[in-house]
Amino acid sequence: MAITGKQRSRRIDRNYSSSLDPSILWKRRFGWAGLIFGVVYGLWLLNPSAAKQLSTGTLSKAHHAWNETGCDKCHAPLSPIKTTSVARSPHAIAQNNQRCNACHKMADHYPTATKLAVQALESCVQCHHEHLGANHNLLDIADESCVRCHADLAQFVEDANRPLSKVTSFDSTNGISGHPDFQGLIRDPGTIQFSHTQHMRPGQSLKTGDRSAKTWDSLPLGFQDQYQKPNNISDPIQLTCSDCHERDHPIAGYEALEGPNATSATNSLGRQTNAHVLYKPVEFSKHCEACHQLDLPHKLDFKDQKHLLDIVATSQQQRLARSERLQSTSNPSESSVDEENRLRIAGTASGADLVGLIKENNPLAKTEIFKTYACSKCHQPATDLASNNKLESIVAPSSLPTRWLKKASFSHGPHINVQCDDCHKIHLDSNALSSNDQNHSITTTTPSESTPLLGNLASDVLIDGIQGCQVCHIVDEAKRKEAQLAGVKNIARADCIDCHRYHDHGPKGTATGL
Amino acid sequence: MLLARKMHLHYGPIALASLLILGGGLWQYSLGTNEDPASGSSPAGLVVGSIAAGIILFELLLWPRKRLRKYKLGRTKFWVAYHLWLGLACGPLAFIHSGFRFGGTFTTFLMALLVLVLASGVFGWVMQVFIPRWMLGNLPQETIPSQIDDVSLLSALENRQMLTVTLGPKPPNTGKLVVLDDQLDALKSGRSLPSMTLDPTTPAIQKSKAIVVGALQRRDPQRVSFGQELADDLNASDRSEIWKQYTLVVEPFLLRNVISKSTQVASRSPIRNLQGAQEWFKNLQTSCSDSANPILIALQSTVEQRLQFDAQRMAHAWLHRWIAFHAGISVMLGVLLLVHIIQSLRYM
């Protein structure tokens, strides 16, 4: 039976709207409940014990204990901790930094070179981001932390007139120049005369096939075990990098490659370590003396004149005796080494003269010793050698840096899978050892017009420049893919923090917190 | 409603504004770097967060606006449009403000609340679009939800009146009718319906009272004449059977929620759904003479009306109950947002 709208309306009470609909009732109830819960929860948050609720995220492992102790350990109340905060102020940042410095005694970053106003706005949390979870590494600093200043240092340093590099990235991207060349590799400050090319030649001869080539059996017995024994002991001895360059920390799994009897292998064990940073300085007694035996101790003590006189007199007697013996047995077939010794002795003071000079405490004594004992073969004379009698050494300091990149923290350990000659380019003769022959591979390079012949001169810096690093260390994603397609195996990141330390700028470093 | 009624031209600008706000927020976020991600305290984060907070507080104004509607603070449809579109934009803005991180317990709770508010709001939006359209097509006898029980009661009274007129007084041994005096008084005075009890001493409604109640119905000539025509054609068996089935099955079903006991009976009633009701009435028609068909059809009509009311009640629940949840957590969100702002100013 159909009912019209009019009929239907007649059946509705006119006062129906005064009755409360249950949905409205429940809406009010829920609304009040939400209001009450929100107010109660908000009031509870004012309680210090509830401060953890307000944390914006779990603290890293380093600060994990303070997840429970409230915010005031690190946050100064009503002081924005971030330098990017709208309400930042030097006073607020200083207050918060003090809380960090209470535990972390960190050096400022070039405090004398940086403007005070800039330093006042530097906050610890600008680079070290907290509240990003327990596994977040606080030392994983993004490049932007450095680039925000180093993109244009002139705004931040006191002396803006000096040459300042603008660095935005390690590699050049989109026409913006990248990291400048390494300043530490511009020249070799060393004073030692040494040819890598000659020493990597079989027998370390002056020329390939020279009869003066050293053989294993010609080495003194005490040194023979130090070098790899060839199949034929009368063959010229072949040095490897590790014969002279020892790691500062042995790497597990590489023992077989370090010893004198190292076997042929490729260094692809995949064991990277941060323990091995640099190579130890070359020592004469360990790495040179097998071939270069001296008549005097390598480091003479000039303070004890009596002792000096004794050893010089003794050595001079031995040298004169040997000289006489050589002269009596001399014939055209003598080796070039003996010939060289003979000429050297003939051109220097006689034993009686040298002893006399020492007795007289004559300043010329040191000059004569320098000439007589062939110090000049490797060393340069000390400054004022002839006039200054108080010199403790007759040779100039070697000045060979053990750490070439002084503004970076290069470590060899992570680069263990890279061939030595990938970074240390040395021109070798074609019959020198190749990568297939030895553990520390030195590939034979063919000199070309564009490639300088490195390694023959002592002044050659045998460390590749930044171009060598940029083969593997690539920032730009597109370039990384290109390199991958080009067959580069060890593609790596190139973050600023990989090489540089913000708090370590002194000669010895002050990175106590790292 | 907003989508279905082709109001794009009206709501397009605000939707576009929301998208622009959202795009601006994303742009602000993109200005952040790995070193300095757009967090809440960064200038970009603060701008985006302030916009999101402003939107949330604006959304809450819908409640006071309803209280103050006598001041005519804009048209409702525009308020709702702003509420919906800005509300949708505020969720992503809050995520941008947070740097797409949930942060700690409080901020996570705050974000969860916001997500729940948004989800319940979107759910309600969808409900408000589709359910009214469905009701329009499927519930032609729709009435005011709060009056469903009253209308059902009146239907029951009409049925009693119709049966009394057409079948005569209720015979003995045909069940017990409910005493509806209080309910009738309540209806007349405009109060809510009191609960009813079964009274064995009152076997049936008195004709005089039925006429009083039927004062409403007396304006329905179709129904009055319908009862008078059938009165003489029915036999005693039909009268007894119809009264019996009405007393035991139909009226308890019509008065469910009005009589406490009848709710239980109705839940097991053979006419609790449309298919069952049609089958049940078909069987009843079979057992009665053809003369009773008009009466049975009238009864079936009231039962079907009641079934529509039940469906309407269900639809009404889907249409409105989410609002309680939505409003509750919205208020909570608003309060905690203020706490968040205060604490952020302290430590940002």
The better pLDDT of the pair B55, A391 is held by B55
The whole model's pTM is what? 0.61
Question: Which of A8, A35, A58 is facing B331, going by the closest CB pair?
Answer: A35
Structure tokens at A441: 């591979």
To the nearest whole number, what is the mean pLDDT of chain A? 78
Q: pLDDT higher for A40 or B348?
A: A40
For residues A458 and A190, the answer to whether their CB atoms sit within 8 Å is yes
The pLDDT of residue B2 is above 80: no
CB contact (8 A) between residue B347 and residue A52: no
User: Residue A85: its chain B contacts at CB < 8 A?
Assistant: 41-42, 348
The confidence score (pLDDT) of residue B131 equals 92
DSSP string, B58-70: HHHTHHHHHHTGG
Query: What is the gyration radius of the CA atoms in chain B, in angstroms?
Result: 29
What does the pLDDT read at residue A271?
53
A chain contacts of residue B154, beta-carbon cutoff 8 Å: 11
Query: Would an 8 Å CB–CB cutoff place A477 in contact with chain B?
Result: no
**How large is the average pLDDT for residues A447-472?**
74
A11·B219 Cβ contact <8 A: no
Chain B CB within 8 Å of residue A44 CB: no
**Cα–Cα distance, B97 to B114 (Å, whole number):** 13
Q: What is the dihedral of CA B24, B27, B29, B30, to 10 degrees?
A: 180
Mapped onto helix, strand or coil, the DSSP state of residue A435 is coil
What is the arithmetic mean of pLDDT over A324-333? 64
Is any Cβ of chain B less than 8 angstroms from the Cβ of A8? yes
Among the residue ranges A164-168, B24-28, B208-212, the one predicted with the least confidence is B208-212
- Residue B195 or residue A413, greater confidence: A413
Answer whether residue B205 shows pLDDT above 50.
Answer: no
Would you state the structure tokens that stand for residue B83, as one six-digit string? Answer: 């509420």
Q: Would an 8 Å CB–CB cutoff place B61 in contact with chain A? A: no
Q: Does the structure show a pLDDT above 50 at A84?
A: yes
Label residue A391 by pLDDT band (50, 70, 90).
low
Q: Chain A, 73-132: which have a CB under 8 Å from a chain B CB? A: 75, 77-78, 80-82, 84-87, 127, 131
What is the rounded radius of gyration, in angstroms, for the C-alpha atoms of chain A?
37
Q: Angle formed by the axes of helices B221-230 and B148-167, to 10°? A: 30
Closest alpha carbon within chain B to A59: B104
CA nearest A371: which of A430, A296, A317? A296
| Residue B316 sits at the chain A interface (C-beta within 8 Å) | yes
Find the CB nearest A12 among B42, B143, B346.
Answer: B143
Weakest-pLDDT range from B11-25, B225-239, B332-346 = B225-239
Provide the pLDDT for residue A133. 86
Angstrom CA distances, A287 to A40, A226, A441, stand at: 78, 9, 19
Q: B218-262 pLDDT, tens per residue?
A: 344 444 455 555 666 778 888 889 999 998 899 888 888 777 665
With an 8 Å Cβ cutoff, are A148 and B39 in contact?
no
Higher-pLDDT residue of B310 and A454 is: B310
pLDDT at B155: 85
Q: How confident is the model at residue B199 (pLDDT cuts 50, 70, 90)?
A: very low
Q: ipTM score here?
A: 0.76
Instruction: Tell me: pLDDT of B328 over 90.
Output: yes
Cα torsion B47, B51, B54, B59 to 10°: value is -160
Distance separating alpha carbons of residues A442 and A420, to the nearest angstrom: 7
What distance lies between CA A481 and its chain's CA centroid?
27
The Cα B216–Cα A218 span in angstroms is 134
- The residue in chain A having the minimum alpha-carbon distance to the alpha carbon of residue B226 is A1
Q: Phi/psi of residue A330, each to 5°? A: -70, 135
CB proximity list for A448: less than 8 A, separation 6 or greater: none
Per-chain mean pLDDT for chain B: 78
Helix axes A351-359 and A305-328, enclosed angle (nearest 10): 170
Q: Tally A–B CB contacts below 8 A.
A: 160
Measured between beta carbons, which residues in chain A are less than 8 angstroms from residue B192?
19
Q: Would you place residue A230 in the very low, low, confident or very high pLDDT band (cuts 50, 70, 90)?
A: confident
Residue B4 predicted with pLDDT over 60: no
Higher pLDDT pick, A444 / A117: A117
Given this model, what pLDDT does residue B15 score?
75
Confidence of residue B284 (pLDDT cuts 50, 70, 90): very high
Please state, in angstroms and rounded to a whole number, the distance separating the CA atoms of residues A282 and B336.
68
**What percentage of residues in chain A have a pLDDT greater than 90?**
5
Mean pLDDT of A10-29: 75
The region, left, alpha or beta by phi > 0 then psi within -120 to 50, assigned to residue B72 is: left
Rounded CA separation A191/A398 (Å): 5
Highest mean pLDDT among A39-48, A77-86, A250-259, B177-186: A39-48
The pLDDT of residue B115 is above 90? yes
Residue A37 contacts B, CB cutoff 8 Å: yes
B147 contacts in chain A (CB < 8 Å): 11-13, 16
CB B167 within 8 A of CB B246: no
Confidence category of residue B112, pLDDT binned at 50, 70, 90: very high
Report CA dihedral (B59, B60, B61, B66) to the nearest 10 degrees.
Answer: 110
A406 Cα to chain B: minimum distance (Å): 26
Inter-chain touch B335–A23, beta carbons under 8 Å: no
Which pLDDT value is given to residue B49?
A: 87
* No. of helices (H) and no. of strands (E), chain A: 19, 0
Nearest chain B Cα to A78, which residue?
B346
Does residue A1 belong to the interface with chain B, where contact is any CB pair within 8 Å?
yes
Higher pLDDT, B139 or A322: B139
Mean pLDDT, rounded, for A353-359: 80
Half-sphere exposure of A286 (CA within 13 A, CB side): 10
* pLDDT higher than 60, residue B78: yes
Q: Which residue is closest to B336 within chain A, CA to CA? A: A38
Q: Which amino acid is at A221?
A: L
Q: How far apart are CA A227 and CA A199, in angstroms?
A: 13
Distances (CA, A) of A130 to A108, A124, A125, B31, B269: 20, 10, 7, 21, 66
Measured CA to CA, the distance from residue B323 to residue B317 in angstroms comes to 10
B276 band by pLDDT with thresholds 50, 70 and 90: very high
Is the pLDDT at B88 greater than 90? The verdict is: no
Test A45 with B144 for CB contact under 8 angstroms. no
Tell me the pLDDT band of B327, cut-offs 50, 70 and 90. very high
How crowded is residue A294: how many other Cβ atoms within 10 Å of its Cβ?
A: 14
Q: Is some CB atom of chain A closer than 8 A to the CB atom of B36?
A: yes
Band the pLDDT of B315: cuts 50, 70, 90: very high
Residue of chain B whose alpha carbon sits nearest to that of A20: B146
